[in-house]
């Protein structure tokens, strides 16, 4: 039987056997060469090893916008001073007097040198990396050799965070074996810590799927080494996620009827829950957890929206009952949307906002826990995230049906696929900043199009010439020549059409991130079925890594699959 269909284990047990080498620790710090210097107040200053290492973290980021931000500078300087010797603390008292430029230049040059290596030298580096991957990058899980996702510890550096994170610039410390908890099976060969070190702890817990874990020092969160997405365990989990979303399809009508009824409820708490659920369902908003202030950037989700995040317009742009949303969501990505809502929702929002300050909670009676408890009661396994997965997948399926023209060539069908994927990314608000290289690569593409247009025009002339010749001579050779020239013209026209499609796609895609939804929210069986139905090679949709991750779907879905 295929490994996707082996027997399920009972009672929360995830594996019977787990053996691995433990994490690969990033190499220790290499001191700077003697001639690369740090300057304080214009004079060279030799730093102790620990202080110098942290200085290089800042130096490497000099051309980054982070180092211009005051919070970043203050956090960095505070943490750096803590690691200095007392003599260094005496001297180095002002970040503005620190000159990291020589160190910065050293790393830029080093980077350029690495890019300029010969093919053979690059191959040698690749072989070294592959050797580490072979040794540390695999584990044995229940008799299968499985790939590990992230088997290296994160290198030390300065914390960046997303958006205006209050902790940006803090020192992310080096992970030592003494910080690491190892998880494996009791009878396996227990991984050896690096020489002269010991593990924090070795556990034999087969109810969890991680291989090693440690606490990172900035957010005090746990970090884990997990299996690669292509592994059987992860594939099963992924498959289950989409099966839960498919179950929602059968009850979503009942749930919608119920929350609409609750808009008129006598309890304000129930009304708030019903309006929040409407937003989560209709707009695919995230639930939004309660957060501690000062620990993370000020971002919100549906339940944590404040009065200042929405504006109500009885009429706007020819629509009635418009809610204008403007807030920072996960990873400080701005959510901006104007939506026409149903009249009872509009009236309720007015009520929820009455006599409140801008910074007050919109849904003041509602917590994520209360909402999720209600969702669990509506359907087993239902959370706000399931709505995102369901709405994303169903949107893709409907858009593919509406947009795909069976008569189109492969390029045309792929443009339709990307447009359907874009509809989902817009629904989920998956944005990206316009790539730095966008303008240049668009220009290159435009030059290709112009050149191809010229070729088409020349080919049209050639066809006309050949036809004139045939009309005069009427001989077979001239007739064959006409056919030959027409064939060439057709081929060139197809190439031009393909380039035009590419340009359209690129332009429409510049600010939208398709990858997030493709990897996390869209049932891959929808895409696999579409490929099989229209004879599109799967590698046009999924790259190698994605094909490994979705091996289960490629094996399971036929062209008739319906989400």
Tokens standing for residue 254: 């009942």
Is 521 marked active-site? yes
Q: How far apart are CA 229 and CA 500, in angstroms?
A: 35
3-class SS of residue 521: coil
d(CA 268, CA 348) in angstroms, rounded, equals: 9
Report whether 212 contacts 22 (CB < 8 A). Answer: yes
Phi, psi dihedral angles at 40 (to 5 degrees): -120, 125
The two three-digit tokens of residue 32, written as one number? 């700077």
Region of residue 386 (phi > 0: left; psi between -120 and 50: alpha; otherwise: beta): alpha
Q: Positive or negative, the Cα torsion across 497, 499, 502, 507?
A: negative
Give the span between the Cα atoms of 262 and 213, in whole angstroms.
44
Lateral strand order in the sheet of 181-183: 201-203, 181-183, 212-215, 222-225
Per-residue DSSP letters for 478-489? Answer: HHHHHHHHHHHH
Q: Indicate the angle between helix axes 232-262 and 268-283, nearest 10 degrees.
A: 130
Give the tokens for residue 1.
Answer: 């039987």
* Owner of token pair 């009824």: 261
- For tokens 């890594």, the residue is 545
Please tell me the distance from the alpha carbon of residue 157 to that of residue 170, in angstroms, as a whole number.
9
Give me the DSSP letters along 428-443: TT-B-PPPTTHHHHHH
Report CA 322 to chain centroid distance, whole Å.
31
Distance CA 447, CA 508 (A): 19
Cα 325 from Cα 255, distance rounded (Å): 24
Calpha distance 436→65 (Å, rounded): 14
Q: If DSSP codes are grouped into helix, strand and coil, which group holds residue 44?
A: strand
Q: Of 24, 335, 390, 521, which one is the catalytic site residue?
A: 521
* Catalytic (active-site) positions: 521
């Amino acid at each position: 039987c295929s490994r996707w269909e082996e027997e399920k284990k009972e009672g929360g047990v995830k594996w019977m056997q787990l053996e691995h080498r433990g994490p690969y620790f990033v190499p220790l710090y290499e001191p700077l060469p003697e001639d690369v210097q740090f300057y304080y107040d214009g004079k060279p200053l030799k730093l102790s090893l620990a202080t110098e290492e942290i200085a290089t973290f800042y130096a490497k980021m000099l051309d980054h916008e982070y180092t211009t931000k005051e919070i970043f500078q203050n956090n960095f300087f505070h943490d750096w001073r803590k690691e200095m010797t007392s003599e260094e603390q005496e001297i180095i008292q002002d970040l503005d007097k620190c000159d990291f430029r020589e160190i910065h230049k050293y790393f830029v040059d080093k980077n350029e040198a690495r890019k300029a290596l010969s093919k053979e030298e690059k191959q040698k580096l690749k072989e070294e990396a592959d050797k580490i991957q072979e040794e540390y990058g695999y584990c044995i899980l229940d008799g299968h050799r499985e790939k590990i996702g992230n088997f290296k510890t994160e290198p030390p550096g300065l914390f960046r965070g997303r958006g205006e994170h209050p902790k940006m610039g803090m020192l992310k410390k080096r992970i030592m074996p003494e910080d690491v908890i190892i998880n494996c099976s009791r009878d396996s060969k227990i991984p050896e810590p690096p020489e002269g070190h010991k593990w924090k702890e070795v556990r034999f817990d087969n109810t969890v799927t991680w291989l090693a874990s440690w606490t990172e020092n900035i957010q005090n969160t746990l970090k884990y080494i997990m299996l690669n997405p292509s592994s059987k365990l992860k594939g099963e989990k992924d498959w289950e996620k989409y099966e839960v979303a498919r179950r929602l399809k059968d009850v979503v009508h009942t749930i919608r009827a119920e929350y609409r009824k609750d808009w008129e409820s006598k309890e304000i708490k129930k009304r708030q829950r019903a309006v929040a659920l409407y937003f989560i369902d209709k707009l695919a908003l995230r639930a939004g957890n309660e957060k501690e202030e000062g620990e993370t950037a000020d971002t919100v989700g549906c339940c944590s929206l404040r009065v200042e995040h929405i504006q109500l317009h009885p009429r706007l742009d020819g629509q009635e009952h418009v809610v204008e949303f403007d807030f920072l969501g996960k990873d400080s990505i701005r959510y901006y949307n104007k939506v026409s809502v149903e009249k009872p929702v509009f009236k309720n929002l007015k009520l929820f906002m009455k006599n409140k300050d801008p910074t007050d909670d919109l849904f003041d009676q509602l917590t994520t826990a209360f909402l999720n408890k209600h969702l669990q009661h509506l359907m087993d396994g239902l959370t706000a995230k399931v709505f995102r997965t369901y709405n994303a997948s169903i949107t893709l399926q409907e858009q593919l049906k509406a947009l795909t023209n069976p008569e189109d060539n492969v390029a045309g069908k792929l443009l339709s696929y990307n447009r359907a994927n874009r509809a989902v990314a817009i629904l989920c608000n998956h944005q990206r900043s316009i790539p730095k290289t966008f303008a240049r690569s668009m220009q290159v593409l435009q030059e290709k199009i112009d050149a191809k247009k010229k070729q088409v025009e020349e080919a049209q002339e050639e066809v006309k010439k050949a036809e004139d010749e045939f009309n005069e001579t009427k001989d077979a050779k001239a007739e064959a020549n006409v056919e030959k020239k027409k064939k060439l013209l057709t081929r060139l026209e197809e190439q031009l059409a393909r380039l035009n499609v590419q340009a359209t796609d690129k332009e429409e895609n510049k600010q939208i991130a398709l990858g997030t939804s493709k990897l996390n929210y869209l049932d891959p069986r929808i895409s696999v079925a579409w490929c099989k139905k229209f004879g599109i090679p799967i590698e046009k949709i999924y790259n190698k890594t994605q094909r490994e991750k979705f091996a289960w779907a490629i094996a399971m879905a036929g062209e008739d699959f319906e989400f």
